[in-house]
Amino acid sequence: MDLLIQQLINGLSLGALYALIAVGYTVVYGIVQLINFAHGEVFMMGAFGSYTTWMLMGSPTNLSIGVALGLVLPAMILGGVLVSVGTALLMERFAYRPLRNAPRLAPLISAIGLSIGLQEAVRLFYGQIPGFPDSRRAIPFPVIEGLTGRSIQVGGVTIQHSAIFTLGALLICAALLWWFVNKTRMGRAMQATSQDADTARLMGINVDKAIATAFAVGAALAAVAGVAHGLRYNNIDFQMGFMAGMKAFTAAVLGGIGNINGAVVGGLVLGIVEAMATTYIPGQFGSSAWKDVWAFAILILVLVFRPQGLLGAKVVDRA
């Protein structure tokens, strides 16, 4: 029983990480029907932005828990959010907006180019900084007192503080996102744009601003996920966004692409499935090396048998 609970907790924390990234896919798709395959690199940029913020603060170490959690960590999250949001807004303005009315293949190719370009830009940029770790390898993430390497023991179950941070970040971000989408003027403008952009424009809504806001919101959550990834795995690298982005896309499809609640549910389900598969599937097929295989097998099954996802996106018939 302890093993089952342990893997459930591990799966939930991993799924929360996927869910934070998946929301960015689903928010953008819900408005412009665009799969932003460069979103994984926005997540990566957030992680490097938070690391750079820590460096600009003087690479503080051996701090008290209060200073680490009350000052350093919020500053790192803010730095990561600014970098991710800035990257996403530039992508939307110069790579996607000009292609908004182009054939669907054009923005897809643009996204792939952006993904590769951002990876190489980060590798080359950070590789030229004197004293910076080799960007071709995993870079150790800053130690945050009170989170890094700390855990709570409950019976035979170990709960990492980083897992608590990731789950807490998902709950807070999901609550803030629900409030923003449903209770603010811009949130309602985003909903109107997702239903019918042309009619929304006729009603006086700035559609371009609503779409840019969707990119910014998704990027902010991806930046939080980037910090959570660093705390969970204790390192970051310039290629981290590719696989994480693919897993998050799988989570978005699993929950129902275009449905925010579905993205959260899909991420949690995917994380639990990965954790359980590596433990309870016998033989070599249950090893950790096979977790990616099972994740993408789920994507194929969902696309074949329930393409609308577990919750399904709301579809509006347009006259």
Given this model, what pLDDT does residue 133 score? 61
Q: For the segment 136-160, what is each residue's pLDDT rounded down to a tens digit?
A: 678 899 999 999 989 999 888 999 9
pLDDT at 21 over 50: yes
**pLDDT over threshold 50, residue 319:** no
Q: Is the model's pLDDT at 131 over the cut of 80?
A: no
When the pLDDT of each residue in the chain is averaged and rounded to a whole number, the result is: 91
| Mean pLDDT of the region 71-78 | 97
Per-residue confidence (pLDDT) for residue 316, from 0 to 100: 47
pLDDT of residue 258: 87
Share of the chain above pLDDT 90, in %: 71
Residue 318 pLDDT class (50, 70, 90 cuts): very low
Q: Per residue in 182-204, pLDDT tens? A: 999 999 999 999 999 999 999 99
What is the pLDDT averaged over residues 250-279? Answer: 92
| 127 has a pLDDT exceeding 80 | no
What pLDDT does residue 284 have? 73
**Average confidence (pLDDT) over 260-269:** 94
Task: Give per-residue pLDDT as tens, 281-303.
Answer: 877 777 777 888 888 888 898 88
Average of pLDDT values for 24-52?
Answer: 94
Tell me what pLDDT residue 135 has: 57
In this prediction the pTM is: 0.93
Residue ranges covered by each domain of the chain:
23-239
b vs e for 306-319, b when ≥16 Cβ sit within 10 Å of the residue's Cβ?
A: eebbbbebeeeeee
CA distance 248 to 243: 9
